[in-house]
Structure 1
Amino acid sequence: MTESATRRVTSADVARLAGVSRATVSYVLNDTPRQTISATTRGRVLDAAAQLGYAPSAAARTLRTGRSDVVLCLLPDWPIGPEVGSLLGNLSTALARHGLTFVVHPGNHNDRPMADLWKAITPAAVIAFTDFSDAELTAMRSAGVAPVAALARSRSQGRAVAVPQEVVGRRQAEHLIAAGHTRLGYAYPDDQRVRFFAEPRLAGVRAAATARGLPVPAAATVALDIHKASEVVRRWQATGVTAVCAYNDEVALAVLAGVRHLGLTAPADLAVIGVDDIPSARLAAPPLTTVMTDQVAAAAHLAATVVAAVSGREGPALPVTSIVTVVSRESA
């Protein structure tokens, strides 16, 4: 392979082909304001860059500006289901509209310290779904990296910029209570990795019941197994539970399978409501009532918060009431 086949195309190559200076190439490709460059010259530069397949060097841009255009998302050890996948996809699109590149690092961060991750790429911002330590906050801010705690739980982290999961649980319980149910159950997942979501959702269900003077919801772990789910349904029936809030749609589908296995029907014998509105929810028997978060709106809000943090501005308020809604179907 020849040197010309492997050598990276540079701005000097673009300048040579377009017959302009490298400074002019930089002004055009970076859309630098307050530069008097004619439309003809701008067109020659863009045509030359396209012809050569020129792509600006991320490393050079980082050296020039002190940081990259990358937003690093530190994802906990979560299963990547439809809801998380939708959030990440929409967030990538929303950040791209602001000229930012979205990079996700999933898994257990005990395997590699957080500082090793962000120092490796010097991102514009770091999004985390757990709180940063004081040392991490200090180090990132000193390096000009904006920390964004998506589910901030302390004042030092800023305010939460992702949907508080207590709201999701409240929506579930309020829907069932409005339908006349006074004895609720909660179907807890058997995957310990999602306790981060499950605990606050259960807290929201309990808070809604308490606010109406109802008994504490009967929580039980429901595995994705028809026989185990049937046993839990049987126990709920014996204690007078008439409606169940499930951690998510998958757990809700397991509850519905348990109901059918016992020869019962939903919602006559047990009403069920899930979370996420996954595609199979509408194909369930009966179709599943669920709570949906508008992930496009949630991602746009998180992206706007990141841009504000990078610019040193206060981020927008989270429109929780408008983006968390109940999708009513036949199961509840």
Structure 2
Amino acid sequence: MTDESPPTAAIHDREQVLADLRPVAFGIAYRMLGSVTEAEDIVQEALLRVHRSLEAGERIASPRGFTATVTTRLAMDELRSARVRRERYVGDWLPEPILTDHQGVDLDPARETETADSLSMALLVVLESLSPEQRAVLLLHDVFGYGYDEVATIVGKGEANVRQLAVRARRHVEDRRPRFPTTPEQQGELASRFFAAARTGDLAGLESLLAHDVELVGDGGGKAPSLARSQRGRSRVAHTLTNWLRALRRLPELEIRLTQVNGGPGAMFLVEARLVAVWSLDLRDGQVAGVRAIVNPDKLAHLGPVGDANALIRRLAGSTPGD
């Protein structure tokens, strides 16, 4: 009997190829979907298809391009099917946050351009207003550096059509980019001042850091207490934030851990080492132009143990400010 199983070296090579391609697939899928959970499902299916092709002996000229094509098409299909779910979502929808100063999320940053900007909450929210095709074209060309001819092949449209889609999509996002980008050092310093003022209840100090048209958005998904609708304006947002933190400060085990969220400044809120919220800050011209608070437990589960926000609210309601 002849052993026709592939040599161990060949199997190892395929596994290494798939490991190298995973960041490519996840980088595309996450930006397309704004969901770590959905992106992981897409990545698993995309790499399974790549594996089957390699196992069948198919000669793939560009494994990276093949993976990008499969991942993008799967993500576009997922977006179309998810549209109804998004329309029925309770309250404002925000992307699932990722912590970009940790090594646990592999987005292949060394091979991408404008990594932080392309991961920002602001951009991912704007992408929600684009069609799946517009989203794919913008990301593939502007973020991942594919030529229009390559993008046309991936999305299955003519090159002229793809160029038009890119122009329309780009118009949607250009006005959201900061006019004067801040350095990582400036971001860190501003975020530290912001959270220090919020933590201590320094209303005047907090207002001085907020843009006049600052927006506060909360995402509870109907599963955790959150804003019924977004709030705008320096005074209104400052008062809401200080009220939130005043209540949370009554929990002695509260920890506010500054971190980098989606390429920008933010913080994790933990109670008894369990995550209850992630805040992401949008900065513009040296001020905080947006605060995005994700408290939906489903969107935090990939970051570690999640606390029960509803139980915390009941606990706070039963306590007094002096407790």
Q: TM-score range by the shorter chain?
A: under 0.3
**TM-score (norm. length: structure 2):** 0.28
Structure number with the bigger relative contact order (C-alpha 8 A, sep ≥ 6) is 2
Larger radius of gyration: 1
**Which of the pair is proportionally richer in helix?**
2
